Structures are given as structure tokens and as C-alpha cells.
Amino acid sequence: MLSFIDHYALAVGQGNSRRELIALLKQVSDYERVHRKEEEALMERLQYPGLAAHRQEHDRLMARIAELLLRVRNADEPAVRETEGLLKTSFMEHLAGPDAEFHLFLSQRRGGALRD
Ligand SMILES: [Fe+2]
């Protein structure tokens, strides 16, 4: 995900067209859609108790990406430049919060499996 965002930032820096920037943001959105599907499938398989809340966080992240995509489509130059930071912040918050909780659950499960 971060590499997609970096590509976007590079494209902004190089003055790429709005159309190219939108295509890059669509890649961010597509990546996140696939990632969340895989992660939620794993959570279902493991009966992760935080699945419903995590799904809501994924919904929120997807909505944020869609909102930023719309801003880039419609907005002025400062909004185009701000998008990289806003995307990174949203993504890092997801990694540090809900994803970190799930990873803790996974490591506790593994620890439990080793003890059994
Ligand atoms: Fe997640």
C-alpha cells in the first residue's frame, strides 16, 4: 500500500496529469479492496472476535480513499498534494490500530497452539 502511495506522490511531484493521478489512486483502492477481502476471510476462518469492528474500519478506510479520489478528481492543486499525507495517515492509523490488534490475536493463537 505504501509503495502505491509513494508512486502517487512521485507522480504529483513530476507534474503528471490528473488522469494519471486518478489511475494511481484507483490502484490504491483496488489494492485495499483485495487486501481487506483476504484479511477478513482469514479472520472468519479463525473466528476472530473483532471481525465486525475490523470490517467497519475497513469500510471507513475504503470510504476515505473514495473521498480522496473524488477530491483529486474535483479539487485544486493543494488538495492533490495533500492527498498523499492524508492517505498515509489513514493507512498508518489502520496498521497501528485494528491491524496491530489482529496481529496480537494471531501471535497469541500461535502461542496457545504451541502450548497445547
Ligand atoms: Fe485490516
Element (H, E) at 62: helix 51-74
Per the structure, how many domains does the chain have? 1
Q: How far is the centre of ligand 1, averaged over its atoms, from the C-alpha of 98 (Å)?
A: 6
CATH number at residue 87: 1.20.120
Residue with cell 511531484: 13
Q: Using the mean position of ligand 1's atoms as its centre, give its distance from the Cα of residue 115 in Å.
A: 27
- Residue 115: pLDDT over 80: no
Over range 55-80, report the average pLDDT: 89
Taking the centre of ligand 1 as the mean of its atom positions, its distance from the CA of residue 72, in whole angstroms, is 24
User: What is the residue range of 92's domain?
Assistant: 2-115
**Ligand 1 mean position to 81 CA, how many Å?**
26
Mean pLDDT computed over 84-110: 93
Q: How far is the CA of 28 from the centre of ligand 1 (A)?
A: 14
Tell me what the mean pLDDT of segment 34-49 comes to. 97
* Nearest one of 41, 43, 88 to 61, comparing CA atoms: 88
